[in-house]
Every structure is written in C-alpha cells, then in structure tokens.
Amino acid sequence: MAENGAFSFTKSGSMGRHGLAKIQTGNNTAEEVCHDDSARPVKAQTIDELHSLQQKKSTPTTPIGGTPRGPFAAISDEQRQRQQLQSISASLASLMRETGPKVVKGDPARKSQISPKASQVVHHHEYHIPTLEFGVSDSALKFTHILYNLSPAELYEQAIKYEKGSFITSTGALATLSGAKTGRSPRDKRVVKDETTEEELWWGKGSPNIEMDEHTFLVNRERAVDYLNSLDKVFVNDQFLNWDPEHRIKVRIVSARAYHSLFMHNMCIRPTYEELENFGTPDFTIYNAGQFPCNRYTHHMTSSTSIDLNLARREMVILGTQYAGEMKKGLFSVMHYLMPKRQILSLHSGCNMGKDGDVALFFGLSGTGKTTLSTDHNRYLIGDDEHCWSENGVSNIEGGCYAKCIDLSKEKEPDIWNALKFGTVLENVVFDEHTREVDYTEKSVTENTRAAYPIEYIPNAKIPCVGPHPKNVILLACDAFGVLPPVSKLTLAQTMYHFISGYTALVAGTEDGVKEPQATFSACFGAAFIMMHPTKYAAMLAEKMQKHGATGWLVNTGWSGGRYGSGSRIKLAYTRKIIDAIHSGTLLKANYTKTEVFGLEIPTEIEGVPSEILDPINAWQDKKVYRDTLLNLAGLFKKNFDGFTNYNIGKDSSLTDEILAAGPIF
C-alpha cells in the first residue's frame, strides 16, 4: 500500500497530484487528545434520548382544536381515541363470547425496545377497553395491538421486518409475494342467500354468486376473527370508496399483513386526518385472514379458500388466500349491489377525460387494456378499473390503480413505469438480488405480476376523480383469434349486444406451448363481480348512453393478420392512435364500410394506422382460414348469447329485439 492510505486501483500511481487530497493527520500536539470536532454534539445525554429526538408527534393535515367542528366537536381528543378503539374492538369481537378482544393501539415490538421512561409515554396513548376478565379463553387476557391506518413508510418497515419476501426495489417500490395464490379464486366466492338476497341477486347458471347460508358465514367469520385475535397485532384501515361525496361508502379492512394494509391504502380513497376523526362506524368491513385456511369440514367449502360476502351484515371474510385483489374486487362486488339500488350504474371500466371535458369509458376483461389505455399522457386519468355513472356524471370508486406489469416498458407505458416508486406495492415480480432492479419480463412467480399505486402517482390524474357524462364508450376485446377489426363504430343495440356478451380471447397458459386461444364471455365485462342479472346493468347503460348521447366503439387490442401463433398482436402505438381518433372526434366523421357476419362499421382510414389492417380480412394471407375462424367465433358468440334471449332489457321489448338482431348473422 502506498503512503498515507492513498490506496488506488489506478495504474498511474499519481494519486497525490491528480486524485484525492491526502488526509492530514500530522498536526496533533503531544498533549492533545485526538477528537472529531467536525460536528457539534447532539442535544442528548443517552442513546434513548437521542432516539426520542428523532421522531416528533405527527401534525394533522388539518388543524385540530380551536373552533369546534362537526358532530364530534364536543368531545376531547382522548374520548375520540377511545371511541375509535371501541369501534375496532366491536369489529373484532366474537359473536358468541361475551367480552373482548382487548385492543390497544401501536406496535407490540415497540414495548421491548423502549426504556421505562419512554414506555410511560406509550402507556399514555393506550386506551384499554374495559372487559370482564373471567370465563373466557386466553385471547381475552391478551391485547390485540392495532396498527391503525399506518403510513406507507411505517408499513414498509412492518413488511420488511416481519414478512418474508418483502424487499425494496431499486426504484423504491415494495416488492412482495402474495403466496400460493397469485390471482383471484372466483370459484371459492360465496354469497349469503337470505330472504332479501334470494329475491334481489342473480343465482344459478352463469351467475358468480354461489350460495352459502348465514350460519356457515358465521362459522367462517368466527374462524377469521379468532385467527386475527390470536395474533399479536392486526392492521386496520379505515378508508372510503367512491369519489362522489353523495354516495361515498366507508370501509374498514382488518388484515394481518402489512402488504394487505399498504395495498388497500393505495387502492381505496385515503381519508384526511379530519375525515378519519369523524369516521364513526364503517358501512362495510373486510376480515382478511388469508393466511389461515377455511375448515374443509364446513358446509359449502370445496377448497381451503373461501371468500364470503354477507350483504345483510355488510361484511366479507377472506380465508385461505393472500392475493390482495380479492379485497379490491370483493368491495367492487359490494358496490355492484349498493349502487344500482340507488339508480347508479357500477362499471368495470377505466375512465379518462380530455382537456375539453370529454369523458371516455374503457370496458374490458382482465388484460384487455383498461389501465394501459386510460393512462394517457394527453388526458386526465379519472380511474383505471372501477367507476360509477350517476345523474352527476362519472366517479371513480377507488383511490388507486392496479396495473399489469408483465413486459412493462418505460417507452410504451411511461406514466405507469414512473409510478413504480416509493409507496407502490409490486406483487410477485422478480428482481436482481443485488441491484434490486426488477425484470418485468420474468414470469417465474406468475404471469400476473401487478403494481398497486395511489392514483396521484399518475401525473395527470384528475383529483377529485370525477367527471361529466361520458361521450365515448369503448369496449375492449383482446381477440386472440385475430378476426375482430382493430376498431368499429357501434350502434346502441350493438353496444348492448357486446356489453352483455363481454367477449375476450386470451392465449392460454403461455408456458407449456400455447395451442388454441380461449374465448371468454363475461357479462358486462365483469361477470365475476356483478350481483344482479346482467340485463339490469345493461338496461341502465343503454338508458344512460341514450340520454347523454354517448357513442359506442369496439376496439380489438389483440391479434391481427392471423390468430395467436401466426398473426401478431396489434401494436400498442396503433391502438393508441385509434383511441386518439375516437377522443378527438375525427373517427366519428370517417368513411365506413360494413363487415360481414358481425355487421361492424369499420373506418377506411385512420391517421397513423396502416389502412390494410383496418379490415381484418386484408391482413390475413389465407382468406379461407380467416372466414372459418370468423364463423367459428361468431358461433361462440351465438351460443353464449342463447343464455340471455329470454330476458327483456329495459322497459319495452323493442330494445331487446334490436339487441338480439345486433349479433352476428350467418
């Protein structure tokens, strides 16, 4: 090693002159003790004191104290805190035992770390719920610590400390694993059938609602609550759904993982400090005990997973799956029940708005492009997945977006790319063990890699997430058969026909060499989430589109020039040009021709899109194979629609007849 520690990998050996300056250590006099006086000493006498200096009490986002406000103005801070804890204890209470649980706010780990002095401070914040402490199990003797509406930073710490598989990626997002389930489990969803729901809901063939009785629900609820109370701590989120203030729903999510709490923090609407103070009793509660299975001996259970909805109790229980999308879509189901009762249409759609206030809805099944196409740098994002259409216009149900990440690229989807930063939950992605850079092409955990981020992470989000009545209603289908045109203009009857059909065809499991594209029909582009018969939602959509003069469009974001395997997926850049032309109004004025079989109006020209792909037959080399494939798909449409021919849509039968006639003719 060279003199004075000037060690270098450089070959020149001339560090002294050109590199870093040498450290001077030679001017201490003999009697002086060497000490570092570069910074002033901290204002603390002990390490504990130093740590206590590091954190200050959070300041509310809105001032408290001073002038009395709202219905709770008369009560003190302490009383308010006590009421909040009482409400949480009530949520977590067993329905059979007489007492408990005892809940206390804060992280149980904090206790062991702190000095006696500091522990008094913590004690000051503990508001114990008085309980009778006899004749009950141990769980009544212990406290359940409540981690209430933690911030993303606090949730990161919880996740990293206690949940295996939690890591900070190179861009600051929280990478996490959802466990054995990496997607929803629709076959394990159960809905309580009682006198009311028997009448109101859609049951039987085609319906997503598989019945369960009240008693079985309570068995599962008890199982979930017992599990949650057996833990040292649970996460509680109190949040809102629906940006329309008139129809806002208060939700409480009780969960056992920081991942779940952060996911819902991002996906639901985040209350302000003041809104939280006056939160009161939730309208709906989720008990997420996803780490714990249901009991296979329980009636109606066909697997270890059960997602149970009880509309009368306004509760949902999750057992045996940690996939966070169950909570998101569980609440969406609830909205599909509550909103239509108020004459508000709930929609599985993305939504954005142009500079002039023109609103577009994007319907489509999973993976068809709702998130991708509603996130548009030239337009305001209202929301990417769940909306309401009321007399006031449109409103987003959620406070965040949930984007597919597979093959995500910075060039094609810059706004989504940039949203994957601190606070974002990245589910099931694969990353470099050292640099923590995510490889978005990796499918080794699942193909359904996802990002959940607050909507304000998209730079042109429209906040509050509401807008006027839609001008365009865009139905997205990812047609892996490659026979649907890239875009067609629809009549109202055709829009309804395709809305009820809810078609898409994705390629099957890509790993073990795909053979055939799988046609999927999902009524209202979200049969898994609707609660009532599809015609109920369809009638509302028709009525609203008619009343507000919205135009319907069918956009194929899938294959062109051949089915999956021989053709290719329509370039995202072309689809974006098509969507631009719909928004600007130029496509409405284009020249159209009509296709055979499906009778779709297709434009002859769109700026920025090669004209030869606009009529799908032109893009296919073998016209006979094209025709056979087209007829095959038309047959699948017809077969699917047979299930709806006995229902009337709307008040008069004329619309129903028109809709039936708007399907493929061959």
Ligand X SMILES: Nc1ncnc2c1ncn2[C@@H]1O[C@H](COP(=O)(O)OP(=O)(O)OP(=O)(O)O)[C@@H](O)[C@H]1O
According to CB under 6 A, which one of 139, 366, 395, 428 is a site residue for ligand OAA? 366
450 in catalytic set: yes
Which residue(s) pair with 236 in the sheet?
Answer: 148, 254
Q: Which is nearer to ligand X, 158 or 368 (CB)?
A: 368
Residue 336 touching ligand OAA (CB under 6 A): no
Burial class of 297 by CB neighbour count within 10 A (0 to 12, 13 to 18, 19+): exposed
Using CB under 6 A as the binding criterion, the count of chain residues that bind ligand OAA stands at 8
Looking only at residues 361 through 390 of this chain, which bind ligand X when binding is defined by CB under 6 A?
Answer: 364, 366-373, 385
Say which entry of Mn ion, Ca ion, ligand OAA, none residue 371 contacts (CB below 5 to 8 A, set by partner kind): Ca ion
Q: Are 13 and 6 in contact (CB under 8 A)?
A: no
DSSP 8-76: -S-SS--HHHHSSPPPP-TT--TTS-----SSPPPS-SSHHHHHHHH--PPPPSS--SSS--STTTTS-
Q: Which of residues 406-425 bind ligand X (CB under 6 A)?
A: 406
398 makes contact with Mn ion (CB under 5 A): no
The site partner of 575 among Mn ion, Ca ion, ligand X, none (C-beta below 5 to 8 Å per kind) is ligand X
Q: Calculate ∠ Cα 96-102-103, nearest 5°.
A: 120
Sign (positive/negative) of CA torsion 460, 462, 465, 466?
A: negative
- 504 binds Ca ion per the rule CB under 5 A: no
Q: Residue 370: helix, strand or coil by DSSP?
A: helix
Q: Which of positions 552-571 make contact with ligand X (CB under 6 A)?
A: 557, 569-570
* Site for ligand X contains 404 (CB under 6 A): yes
**Rounded Cα–Cα distance for residues 262 and 258 (Å):** 6
The rounded distance, in Å, linking the Cα atoms of 177 and 427 is 6
Among Mn ion, ligand OAA, Ca ion, none, the one that 469 touches (CB under a kind-dependent 5 to 8 A) is: none
Q: Of residues 257, 370, 563, 583, which has the active-site annotation?
A: 370
Query: 557 touches which of ligand X, Ca ion, Mn ion, none (CB within 5 to 8 A by kind)?
Result: ligand X
| C-beta closer to ligand X: residue 146 or 405 | 405
| Rounded distance between C-alpha atoms, residue 367 and residue 372, angstroms | 9
> Whose Cβ is closer to Ca ion: residue 107's or residue 447's?
447
Sign of torsion, CA 525 528 529 532? positive
Q: Is 184 an annotated catalytic residue?
A: yes
Work out whether 385 is an interface residue with Mn ion (CB under 5 A). Answer: yes
Question: Nearest-5° angle of CA 435, CA 441, CA 443?
Answer: 100
CB-nearer residue toward ligand OAA: 380 or 402: 402
- 184: partner contacted, choices ligand X, ligand OAA, Mn ion, none (Cβ within 5-8 A by kind): ligand OAA
Nearest by Cα to 615 from 586, 631, 594: 594
Query: At its nearest, how many Å lie between ligand OAA and the CB of residue 452?
Result: 10
- What counts of helices (H) and strands (E) characterise the chain? 19, 32
Could you say which residues in the range 394-413 bind ligand OAA, by CB under 6 A?
A: 402
Distance CA 389, CA 399 (A): 17
Stretch that binds Ca ion, among 209-217, 297-305, 365-373, 471-479 (CB under 5 A): 365-373
- Strands of 63-127 (E only): list them: 102-105
Beta bridge partners of 472: 360, 551
Nearer to ligand OAA, 329 or 469 (CB): 329
Marked catalytic residue, from 178, 321, 333, 371? 371
Hunting for tokens 């929609």 — which residue is that? 347
Question: Tokens at residue 299, please?
Answer: 């009636």
Shortest spacing between CB 451 and ligand X, in angstroms: 9
Q: Which span sits near Ca ion by CB under 5 A: 273-281, 305-313, 377-385, 564-572?
A: 377-385
Choose among 479, 470, 482, 616: nearest CA to 552. Answer: 470
**3 state SS of 233:** strand
Write down the least CB distance from residue 328 to Ca ion, Å: 10
Select 244 or 385, whichever has its Cβ closest to Mn ion: 385
Residue 371 catalytic?
yes
C-beta of residue 448 within 8 angstroms of C-beta of residue 183 = yes
CA dist 473 and 545 (Å) reads 8
Binding-site string for ligand OAA from residue 546 to residue 565, where x marks contact by CB under 6 A and - marks none: --------------------
Q: Which stretch binds ligand OAA (CB under 6 A): 201-209, 324-332, 502-510, 579-587?
A: 324-332
Looking at 271, 282, 325, 616, which residue binds ligand OAA (CB under 6 A)? 325
Residues at the contact surface with Mn ion, assessed by CB under 5 A: 385
Interface residue list for Ca ion (CB under 5 A): 371, 385
| Residues with catalytic roles | 184, 329, 348, 366, 370-371, 385, 450
Binding site for ligand OAA (CB under 6 A): 183-184, 325, 328-329, 366, 385, 402
**Residue ranges in contact with ligand X by CB under 6 A:** 364, 366-373, 385, 402-404, 406, 557, 569-570, 572, 575
